[in-house]
Structure 1
Amino acid sequence: MNRVLLDPALLVLRAVLGVTMFLHGWQKLTGPGLEGVGGMFDQMGVPLAQVAGPATMLVELVGGVLLVLGLATRVAAAAVLVVSVGAIVIVHWSAGFYAADGGYELVLVLAAMALTLVLTGPGAWSLDAPFARRRSPERAREMVSA
């Protein structure tokens, strides 16, 4: 794919996933709150709900911001991927595919977006980009041959 098209596409992907995750975390923080999110997860049958609830909220809030900024993108996307796969398996799978029925449709899309960022990285329009350029194999060859 042409880099001219790839970088803005990755920016859009990061921004949409990041804002979506952040808003899901914000909903938990301003709804049940840090104390209540564990109880909410317990009602859904999530194991270790008192740990998983706040941890999920933290991944959504912090991970969402990091994705929008393109900072620690692969780590943030991997955390979102783990949370999403956990949500699919533990909460949504039994309800079937469609989100309207409580199914895994939306969470699957979020997981696919996160996996894409784990595999591709954030693109050039990110705060990670300057660090990636310093580590790139091309840059290493330039430094050796200089």
Structure 2
Amino acid sequence: MDLDLGMLLLRLALGPMLVLHGLNKIAGAGGLAGTTGWFESLGLRPAAVHARVAAATEVGAGVLVTLGLLTSLGAAAFVGLMAVASFTDHRGKGYFVFKGGWEYTLHVGIVAVALAAAGPGRWSLDHALGLDVAGVRWAAVAAGAGLVLAALLLATSYRPSPNRS
């Protein structure tokens, strides 16, 4: 029961945080236009498409993790999102997030893989539906799929200006 409470608290910390990040991309101070401009400055092309895909992926993965539904799929999305953010926005700024570094993205990605390994707990939709999508294999799937998809996105869409790379 303690593990179930722990996994629920972990999901409630991780999932809503990502949902809010996605909603901020849509309705934050600069709205979707601001997110598009930011993605353009990062070198993600076409920026308008990536702004929408990132926002939808963040909201969707955040909801999945919060509910404990297809948890390892949500974890894979977390890993992919964090890998892309690390490479495009946080790269070259050192480790610490307060200096713009990749500390935050690394930790969120690792915690997502740990969630895939441990599973969402009994207080989840995965458990209610009888879905067994946790363990070492699922952690490897979450990490591997997230990193492969991030690499594919970057290979096909990352075109930074010469002063950014």
Query: By the TM > 0.5 criterion, same fold?
Result: yes
1:82-101 to structure 2, matched below 5 A, reads 82-101=80-99
Contact 1:20/1:64 (<8 A) preserved: yes
Aligned-pair CA distance for 1:121: 2.2
Aligned-pair CA distance for 1:51: 2.5
Whichever of the two has the greater Rg, that structure is: 1
| Gaps in structure 1 of 5+ consecutive residues | 137-146
The answer for the alignment partner of 1:130 in structure 2 is: 128
Does structure 1 residue 25 correspond to structure 2 residue 25?
A: no
Equivalent of 2:3 in 3, 6, 9: 6
Match of 2:16, as an amino acid?
V
Match of 1:130, as an amino acid?
A
Aligned residues with identical type, % of pairs: 36
Contact 1:46/1:91 (<8 A) preserved: no
Q: Matches of 1:47 and 1:88 in 2, distance apart?
A: 17
Match of 1:28, as an amino acid?
K
Bigger shift: 18-27 or 33-42?
A: 33-42
- Root-mean-square deviation (CA, aligned residues, Å) is 2.0
TM-score by length of structure 2 reads 0.71
Count of paired positions:
132
Moved over 6 A (4+): none
| Gaps in structure 2 of 5+ consecutive residues | 134-165
The answer for the alignment partner of 1:62 in structure 2 is: 60
TM-score by length of structure 1 reads 0.80
